[in-house]
Every structure is written in C-alpha cells, then in structure tokens.
C-alpha cells in the first residue's frame, strides 16, 4: 500500500472512531426523510438493547456536539488559503499563518469529536460496548485477512507486468492532453524531488500513527473505559497528526513556488471555473428540487 493510500486509510479510521463512535452514530438520524426510523437503526438499537434514556442522552450529545463544532467550521470557511498559495507573489508567512488557523480549527473540531466519542461510549454499558467491539474487531481482522491473503502476490505481479503499463500509458496521454501548465523538465524534476523528500518524512510518522489508531476501538469500547488511557492515546495521535500536517504545509508552500506566477494564476482560473459550475448546479438543484 502506498504512503498516500495508507494515510487515507489512517485518516478514515481516525474519523470513523472519533466522529462516528457507535454511541454517537446512533444519535444521528438515519432515516430517509419519510418520517419513519431507519430499519438499520432499529435493528442496532434492539441488538444492543439501547434504552430510551440512553437514546435521549445520545440525542442531547449530538445536539451539543453540533453546536460546539459549528463556530470552528465557520472559521475554516473563512480561511482563503487557496488564493494565498496561488497569488502572483506567494506570501509564505501569510500562507503559514492561514495554515496554522486551519490546523487550530481542525484540532478544536477533533477534540470536540473525541470528547463526544468518549462520552458517547460511556453512555453505553460495558456489555453493549463489548458487543460492538466484537463486530469492530471482526471487520478489522477480515480487512487484514484480505490484505495479507497470499494469492495477492500472483495478482500483483500480473497487475505490475500487464495492466499497470497500459494504465500508465493512458494516464500519460491524458496528462499531456490536460497539461495546461506546460511544466518544464526542471519543474517536473523539482516536483519529483519534493515528493521524495516529503515521503521520506511522512513514512516514519505514518508507521508510528497506524498502531495507535488501531488501539482506539479497544480503548473506547473496553468493558471498563480508562479515560486517562483514552486521552493519552488521543494526545499521541494528535501530536503525530500535527507533525504530518506540518510536513504537508511545508510541501504545499514549497510546491507552489516551483510554479511561475502565470502557472499559479492558470490553476486559480481553473478553480474559479470549477467553483462556478458547482454553484450553478447547486442553484439548479435548489430551484428545481427543493427540499
């Protein structure tokens, strides 16, 4: 698995645990807007034996969490980092300060999410958490079994020798057709060097992060939850996540400076055109398919 794919998996697991712990997830409406409760939610409630009091506590937790997160979401919407990175002259100090603002808001949201996950898990009984953990571990083991299945080596070799060259050729043709930036050989070499340097920094941190993430289900869904252990584990994950974010920030700032001002403006123009199309579709949907 590549570093990028591994990081996406890690992030997905973090979000799933921090923001969609079983207790919190049950608190969010799952119906299709017909006024009835989603059958899946009903089955889960019956399987776990969720009481009316527990469901009411989860609903309150959901409302409190949404209210606490909203101001920080507004802060994220207010940051115009893309415009800063793609300006004719890149102000690196401004870019770093805006990235810092993003990181601060994201960390606040994550802190609130983790606190909600921990509180939500404690709304459940030890027996209920054990039932959930059994299923969580099953799916993790099943995923690992598929990942480690020995037959993949033969398939991987076939893919590398037969399929990947075809895809690479198609990708290169498409890249040439859509290469509106007209990168020079020097720029391409600079981007490749930057990517290699970033990967060398990211890989060790990703390897440290992965086992910590996999400890979260056992910690949050233990029969008796140790809150100190849970908070310590979350602090370690947050610290490593922030280190990864710092590398991504430095890479992004350095990367856009490889481009010329004209190339950055070309990217910005493409973004504005895309945003306009998205807004046009949203307006169409709201006008012709109102909620």
236 lies in the same domain as 287: no
Q: Report pLDDT for 64.
A: 95
62 lies in the same domain as 40: yes
pLDDT in tens, 19-53: 334 444 444 443 444 455 668 778 888 888 999 99
14 lies in the same domain as 36: yes
124 lies in the same domain as 246: yes
272 lies in the same domain as 194: no
Domain assignment of residue 166, yes or no: no
pLDDT in tens, 192-226: 999 999 999 999 999 999 899 889 889 999 999 99
Domain assignment of residue 244, yes or no: yes
Domain assignment of residue 235, yes or no: yes
Domain assignment of residue 174, yes or no: no
Closest C-alpha to 210, from 20, 6, 2: 6
Instruction: Kindly tell me if the per-residue pLDDT of 84 is higher than 60.
Output: yes
Closest C-alpha to 248, from 208, 205, 209: 205
Count how many domains the chain has.
2
204 lies in the same domain as 218: yes
pTM of this structure: 0.74
Instruction: Kindly tell me if the per-residue pLDDT of 7 is higher than 50.
Output: no
249 lies in the same domain as 287: no
224 lies in the same domain as 241: yes
Domain assignment of residue 204, yes or no: yes
107 lies in the same domain as 233: yes
Q: Report the half-sphere exposure of 267 (CA within 13 A, side-chain side).
A: 17
246 lies in the same domain as 278: no
- Mapped onto helix, strand or coil, the DSSP state of residue 126 is helix
User: How many other β-carbons are positioned within 10 Å of the β-carbon of residue 131?
Assistant: 17
- Please tell me the distance from the alpha carbon of residue 284 to that of residue 228, in angstroms, as a whole number: 50
Instruction: Kindly tell me if the per-residue pLDDT of 191 is higher than 80.
Output: yes
Both structure tokens of 199: 């990967």
Q: Report pLDDT for 287.
A: 76
Q: Domain range for residue 281? A: 260-291
192 lies in the same domain as 286: no
265 lies in the same domain as 146: no
């Amino acid at each position: 698995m590549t570093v990028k794919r591994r990081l996406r998996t890690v992030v997905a697991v973090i979000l799933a645990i921090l923001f969609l712990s079983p207790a919190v997830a049950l608190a969010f409406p799952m119906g299709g807007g017909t006024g009835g409760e989603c059958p899946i939610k009903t089955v889960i409630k019956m399987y776990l034996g969720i009481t009316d009091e527990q469901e009411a506590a989860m609903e309150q937790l959901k409302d409190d969490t949404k209210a606490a997160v909203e101001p920080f979401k507004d802060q994220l919407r207010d940051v115009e980092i893309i415009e800063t990175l793609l300006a004719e002259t890149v102000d690196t100090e401004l870019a770093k300060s805006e990235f810092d603002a993003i990181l601060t808001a994201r960390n606040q949201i994550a802190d609130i999410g983790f606190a909600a996950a921990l509180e939500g898990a404690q709304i459940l009984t030890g027996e209920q958490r054990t039932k959930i953990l059994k299923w969580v571990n099953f799916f993790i083991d099943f995923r690992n079994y598929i990942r480690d299945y020995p037959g993949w080596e033969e398939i991987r070799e076939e893919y590398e020798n037969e399929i990947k060259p075809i895809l690479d050729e198609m990708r290169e043709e498409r890249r040439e057709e859509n290469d509106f930036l007209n990168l020079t050989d020097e720029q391409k070499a600079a981007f490749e060097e930057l990517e290699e340097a970033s990967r060398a920094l990211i890989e060790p941190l990703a390897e440290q992060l992965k086992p910590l993430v996999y400890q979260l289900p056992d910690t949050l869904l233990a029969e008796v939850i140790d809150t100190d252990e849970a908070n310590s584990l979350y602090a370690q994950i947050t610290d490593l996540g922030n280190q990864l974010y710092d590398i991504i920030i430095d890479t992004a700032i350095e990367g856009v400076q490889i481009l010329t001002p004209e190339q950055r403006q070309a990217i910005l123009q493409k973004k504005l055109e895309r945003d306009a199309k998205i807004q046009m579709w949203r307006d169409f949907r709201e006008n012709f398919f109102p909620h």
